[in-house]
Structure 1
Amino acid sequence: MKKRSAEFTEIEHETIWLTTYNVNNKRPLLVDFSDWFNFPDQPAIVVIGLQEMDMSAEALLLQEMASRSEPWEQVFAQYLNKKGKYHHVTTKQLCGILLCVYIREDCKPYCSGGTDAICPTGIMGIMGNKGGVAARLSLHESSFCFITSHFNAFQNNVERRNQDFQDIHKGLLFNLSPTSPPIGLKEHDNLYWLGDLNYRIDLEDLVVRAKIKEQKYDELYENDQLRVQRAASKVFNGWMEGPINFAPTYKYDSGCDEYDTSEKHRIPAWTDRILYKSTDSKLLSYGRHELTLSDHRPVSALFNVVIKKVIPHKKEKVLRELAKQLEDIINNGKPEPVLSTTSCHFPELIQYGKEATFTISIENVGKVGAEWEFKAKNEEMIVSKPWLSMYPMKGWIESGDKADVEFTILVDKSIF
């Protein structure tokens, strides 16, 4: 059905707006948030991620405490209601990390699957002072997944931040039903990652501040840790980010526009980022907002997205045709799959903490369609070792067609 979905779907375009803000344990009292919520029109989906929303000891221990999130949710509702009618889909909290998702009222009847997940990566790998929160939903036939996270801090903790990404990417799983296995991030059409990723700029403090005054952001970006790590394929492989044409969003003196004047004199950096992985999304804007409540500045992104809508009578026609094909398979023949190779040769040396991928093709040279799936052999409970993953895990190949399967090796601390 997925291969023939174009025959029974039509395309519409909508906008979605995402924003991330490390609020530095501040409360939204007597603050004008108009500049923050100054997005155009009425996006179909609004996603808000906060970090350091609640840094109390109780929150660190209990991980979820609604009391501190309520004032923020009231602010979100207040400003969204000025834009139009919005329906609250879900709110999920992990200590100071908060994710809120809203959908425009007229889209509500076509929205389904509003589920969420958490993955702590903080102290001892289980505390929620660092980690990620995710929510997923479908609008018509298009699936969306939104992740907000807070990675480890400090200038030199680059590898730890990379590991945070790997742990959260693996650890966020959605339980859709008691009878089916959980699904991961890859099982979505559109992925968006927003948060305080804490990557810094590897230049001296005075150099960074001088270039900010001169608005030489491209020279700063060349030394941005996240850019360097992505270029080395160590993190966010296949993800995209818009051009950064704005000043670093951290670290300010709270309540003013001055970068850190404390004795620590932290180097300004683009710690707050939004990345995406989607062939159906077009970035319309990416920038920061001038709020002085925190030592960070909020960042937001506006996307135009493709929404796939099913045409019922055309879908029914395709179903009948596939049912006939299935009957022919049972009565008239069998598939003949052929692998492009029976061994995997990875082009790069396998390195600790760095993904390596290899792709093989399965071609169906038979006269009927073929269903394939990876299964555990003999009495083993798992399909592969923890350092190896395959995507997709199963599929359908029409007669004469091919399917690509990507094998990924990642050796890191999680496998030991």
Structure 2
Amino acid sequence: MSPASTGSTDRLDANIPGAFPDGSTSQQSISTHQTLSQSLYTRRAEYTRSRNVRIKVGSWNVAAQKGTEQDIGAWFVDGKGIEESLAGLGVDDARPGSSESRESITGQEARSPSPTILRGDHGAVPGGEEVGIYALGLQEIVDINSPAEALRPYTDPTVANRWKDVIKAALPKGYQLVVEQQLVGLLLLVYVSPTVYPHIKNVSTTSVGTGLMGYMGNKGAVTARLVLGETTRLVFINSHLAAGADKAALDRRNWDAGQIATRTRFDPITDALGSAQAHGECLGEEDFAFWFGDLNYRLEGMPGDDVRRLLLRHTKDLDPEPSIESGIPSSNVSTTSDASKSSTAGSSDDEDAIPLPPELDPASLQTTILSLLPHDELHQQMKAGKAFADGWAEGPIRFLPSYKYDVGKVGLFDSSEKRRCPSWCDRILYRTRAAKQRYDIKIKEQDEARKKDDEMKAKGIDHAGDDDEVLYDYDPDTDGDNVEYDEYGDNADPEPEHVTTKEGFSDEILLEYYTSHMRVLSSDHKPLDAVFNLTYDAVIPELKAAIHQEVARELDRQENEGRPSITVVVDRPTGTPSLDNKDTTDSAFDGVDFGDVQFAKSKRRNMTIANTGRVPATFGFTDRPIDEGHPEGPFPSWLTAIFDREPDLADGKALTDKLAPDYLHTAYTLEPADVCNIELKCKVDNMELVRDLNSGTKNLDYVLVLRVQNGRDHFLPVRGRWLQSALSRSIDKLIRIPEGGIRKLQGQKPAGDDEAVRWSAPRELFRLTEAIESLTERTIAEWDMTGHEGERAPWMHNAGWPFVKDSRYFEDGNYDETLADVYDALDCDAGFDTVFDAGIAAMQRVEILAEVLLQFLCSLQDGIVTAELWAKLEEGLMAREKAKQQPSPDEERLFALEVFSKAPNHNVAFVLLTSMLQRVANEVANASKPDPKTPRSSVDLPASPQVSVRRKTLSKVPEVAIRQLINRNYATVFVDAVFRAPPDAEKMREKDRTARRERMIGVLELFLAEGER
């Protein structure tokens, strides 16, 4: 798997090797029903079988040396290059073949460079087909000390290809590469055998750079996670930590390790059934982890010459002239044979002497290693809890330090001027899930003990109190800080460890081999490997699929019996003929059909919901998303629902909106056999919607989603047939509608610009103004004739009447149906007298018609005075204001009419409307005249509900003041209905908008005052 396959991110540094991993994932998470997972898990023994696999982990710092790849197959795959006398765990002198056939060290060193592996070697550790998983970690496959390589924002595949080619040639036939991850000089390769390959799933790789600036790839780790047999998570970490022998370098190594542990993230795991985790995994969630590479931990406080002199006792027999090449006088070196003889002194018969165990023989390699290991920084940091303390372990070290050797030599340590101290820089660590859990429990107990101790100290309990008092005294700086090296316990042969995996399966792992390959000479690091024997429970996919089907069927049966279930019944009205004499009902339509729908007219349909299940059912209408993050809501603007019961309550609040389960709009619960009735009301009263319905860009079709918690959704289609309306159209369209109204064109092509002009102004405006004028006269006459003792006429206390309604007569929507019938009559070109019941007085009739007129004018798309006409008119008015001209009212009116004449139909409509307002104002003003006998100072003027008018700005003559009030109120009521402001209105300052509105009101007042008498 290439680095590019690890996922992409929008972060700027995403393409830099070792960048912080992206926390998001593009993979959609899929949730699996918990009961299904649990039931399947309880039957895991039926679909799993025990399997055994050897895992071979190898690590080598090749130091960017040319030709090192020629040695890789021999030592890593075939197990060659081990010097038994200096070998580690699991390696002894018993080996196949004759030792005499092996190449001598002198001959091997003489023919270097590559390949450097000795000839005639038969291998001392398992290899070939004995190993099921090969995991190889290489460091410094390129020169990381070169700035050009260290800062390179990509990896060169040609370098990795050289290694892959030689490994593929060395591996048995059929082995597959399942992991490839490179970060500058780090390369991680994992191969599996043909029998293991089908059981490998969910491979995920990532990189973490910790080098320059804390994230560049010259130091860091490449990591892979794979799932074996659908049961066992394996993680392989190949790392290269900071170099150096001082305290700062040690701290940086610990920091590197911490960064790798916290920043490593893997993709979510998807099982064979398609279920996936919601989030990816990080280190610590696996079952078995292997951390290997050049960790660079050194021997703390040890002089390099002393260590080399000590180790030379064991390597001098491998070196032709050790005293010369190492710079150590030969007189200071005793031979191994001499030391061996001294170890058996005191015995008179060598044949009867009992050989000492290596750890008790002062001249043995084991004793030398045990004397050095207490100074090993890695062991010190692990015991101090500063690095790799969270469950990581290492096999017993029984081999010489892996660094630093002269290239081309078997056992000659650094003979350069630096004379570096030999160290175990290269390591292979491993961790089980059980070990990580033990560490977590230990940390939790320490935290609890520390908190308890702090609580007791806060209470003033002295440590020197009674013996019966127990203190949990915890000091994180000293507790657990035991740096003494257990020379026998830590170096003992490992025992098999039983592990319960994350999925609940039982596995067992045993470290069989841990050794270095001394006879590999092409790098200054000796390669090392470890062989683990893993016994695991593997899922058999065919068996699991069969068990899954059985479990799913059983759960489905149980769930269906206990799942909430409702039945929805929609009441269907009897068919009624529409305008085109067609039945508006459709027996095949399985939903709510409102039939013909007209403006402002409410249509109602009933539906019944019954709980037909065995358990309570919680339901409600749910939101319909129109795009991500912007729900449309459960109902369109023209549809509402009324339930015959109160919604569910929680803490005294109705479960509405986001409080309801599953995001129901409102939650209701029905007990078994209980029913709920719902009334659905359709009403179109939004002008924007009317415009869209008239044009056909929208319709009255919708689908309600009725959601049952833990049950299935019910989809309820709703529809209505829109009846065309004269509202929300332009004057240019209205003057082309034939006699009979807009409904006469129902179902036909809308009137276009090519249709003949039939009217000088909209016929609807003619009819409304004529009816209002006539009813105003009638209302005033009836009031005078009938008399109302002690009651003032509405126009006596309301200067805006009849265009500002008397609210006393229109409470609770008393006349909503009548209002809708008036709109219908307007659209059908029918007489208004046929709409009003006999019980509706003339006063209420004129007020209803006045409301219809205002709604009609406000809905005009272009207005009586269009934005273009007003712009020209305003330009002239502002020019007069600037020139401080004061033309007469007649001149002002002539100027306005001259501007309006550019649009004749709009001009006629304006004159028609203002003429009607003049006559109505005259009638109302005459009816409001005070009694001549009443002193002028005592005359009460009508209230001004639309605009605040100061008394001193009005005429002192009551009759004139009343007319001024009426004109001002009428103009204020109609200003927004008549004029359309230019597009620049939104950008104007509030002060300028106010001034513009006053000019518009002034124009209307100018024409209303024309008819004063």
1:179-328, aligned counterparts within 5 Å? 180-202=278-300, 203-212=302-311, 213-214=313-314, 215=365, 216-236=368-388, 237-257=390-410, 258-278=412-432, 279=499, 280-289=508-517, 290-310=519-539, 311-312=543-544, 313=546
Task: Please tell me whether residue 65 in structure 1 is matched to residue 156 in structure 2.
Answer: yes
Distance 2:310 2:558 in 1: 64
1:9-408, aligned counterparts within 5 Å? 9-28=48-67, 31-33=70-72, 34-37=74-77, 38=79, 39-40=126-127, 41-55=129-143, 56-60=146-150, 61-81=152-172, 84-141=173-230, 142-156=232-246, 157-176=249-268, 180-202=278-300, 203-212=302-311, 213-214=313-314, 215=365, 216-236=368-388, 237-257=390-410, 258-278=412-432, 279=499, 280-289=508-517, 290-310=519-539, 311-312=543-544, 313=546
Residue deviations 1:253-311 (CA, integer Å, cap 9, x gap): 11213111111111000000011112332101000112111110101000011222224
Which has the higher Rg, Structure 1 or Structure 2?
2
Q: Which residue of 2 aligns with 1:409?
A: none
Q: Is the 8 A contact 2:69 2:163 kept in 1?
A: no
More divergent stretch after superposition (50-59 vs 307-316) = 307-316
Q: Structure 1: which amino acid aligns with 2:386?
A: K
Unmatched segments (≥5 aa) in structure 2: 1-36, 80-125, 270-275, 315-364, 433-498, 500-507, 565-1013
Residue deviations 1:311-358 (CA, integer Å, cap 9, x gap): 425566666788899999999xxxxxxxxxxxxxxxxxxxxxxxxxxx
> Deviation of residue 200 (structure 1)?
0.5
Distance 1:243 1:29 in 2: 27
Aligned to 2:191, the other structure's residue is in SS state strand
Higher strand share: 1
Q: Structure 2: which amino acid aligns with 1:23?
A: V
Q: Is the 8 A contact 2:70 2:166 kept in 1?
A: no
Distance 1:284 1:328 in 2: 55
Distance 2:561 2:263 in 1: 42
Aligned to 1:14, the other structure's residue is in SS state strand
Q: Structure 1: which amino acid aligns with 2:511?
A: L
Q: Is the 8 A contact 1:7 1:314 kept in 2?
A: no
Q: Structure 1: which amino acid aligns with 2:304?
A: D
Q: 1:29 to 1:229 in 2, by over 3 A?
A: closer
Aligned to 1:282, the other structure's residue is in SS state strand
> Deviation of residue 171 (structure 1)?
1.0
> Deviation of residue 175 (structure 1)?
2.6
Q: Is the 8 A contact 2:219 2:242 kept in 1?
A: yes
More divergent stretch after superposition (159-168 vs 304-313) = 304-313
Distance 1:92 1:244 in 2: 28
Q: Which residue of 2 aligns with 1:347?
A: none
Q: Is the 8 A contact 2:56 2:531 kept in 1?
A: yes
Aligned to 1:187, the other structure's residue is in SS state coil
> Deviation of residue 51 (structure 1)?
0.5
Identity of aligned residues (%): 33
Q: Structure 2: which amino acid aligns with 1:127?
A: M
Q: Is the 8 A contact 2:211 2:218 kept in 1?
A: yes
> Deviation of residue 85 (structure 1)?
2.5
Q: Which residue of 2 aligns with 1:369?
A: none
Aligned to 1:260, the other structure's residue is in SS state coil
> Deviation of residue 12 (structure 1)?
1.5
Distance 1:115 1:255 in 2: 38
Residue deviations 1:369-403 (CA, integer Å, cap 9, x gap): xxxxxxxxxxxxxxxxxxxxxxxxxxxxxxxxxxx
Q: Is the 8 A contact 2:54 2:133 kept in 1?
A: yes
Distance 1:329 1:232 in 2: 57
Q: Is the 8 A contact 2:136 2:189 kept in 1?
A: yes
> Deviation of residue 42 (structure 1)?
2.7
Q: 1:271 to 1:98 in 2, by over 3 A?
A: same
Q: Structure 1: which amino acid aligns with 2:384?
A: A
> Deviation of residue 36 (structure 1)?
3.6
TM-score, normalised via structure 2 length: 0.31
Q: Structure 2: which amino acid aligns with 1:136?
A: R
Distance 1:259 1:201 in 2: 15
Q: 1:99 to 1:221 in 2, by over 3 A?
A: same
Distance 2:555 2:284 in 1: 26
Q: Is the 8 A contact 1:42 1:104 kept in 2?
A: no
Residue deviations 1:182-240 (CA, integer Å, cap 9, x gap): 31122211111010000001222133223323521111111111011111121112111
Q: Which residue of 1 aligns with 2:655?
A: none
> Deviation of residue 58 (structure 1)?
4.0
Distance 1:30 1:15 in 2: 24
> Deviation of residue 5 (structure 1)?
7.0
Distance 2:283 2:308 in 1: 37
Q: 1:13 to 1:253 in 2, by over 3 A?
A: same
Q: Structure 2: which amino acid aligns with 1:25?
A: A
Aligned to 2:260, the other structure's residue is in SS state helix
Residue deviations 1:143-172 (CA, integer Å, cap 9, x gap): 211000000011122111111111001111
Q: Which residue of 2 aligns with 1:334?
A: none
Distance 2:535 2:65 in 1: 37
RMSD of the alignment, in Å? 2.8
Distance 1:291 1:322 in 2: 61
Q: 1:321 to 1:297 in 2, by over 3 A?
A: farther
Aligned to 2:54, the other structure's residue is in SS state strand
Distance 1:197 1:293 in 2: 20
Distance 2:309 2:43 in 1: 53
Distance 2:66 2:559 in 1: 60
Aligned to 2:180, the other structure's residue is in SS state strand
Residue deviations 1:8-33 (CA, integer Å, cap 9, x gap): 43321111101000000013368444
Distance 2:403 2:562 in 1: 61
- Provide the aligned length of Structure 1 versus Structure 2: 331
Q: Is the 8 A contact 1:130 1:152 kept in 2?
A: yes
Q: Is the 8 A contact 2:69 2:162 kept in 1?
A: no
Higher helix share: 2
Distance 1:161 1:326 in 2: 55
Unmatched segments (≥5 aa) in structure 1: 332-416
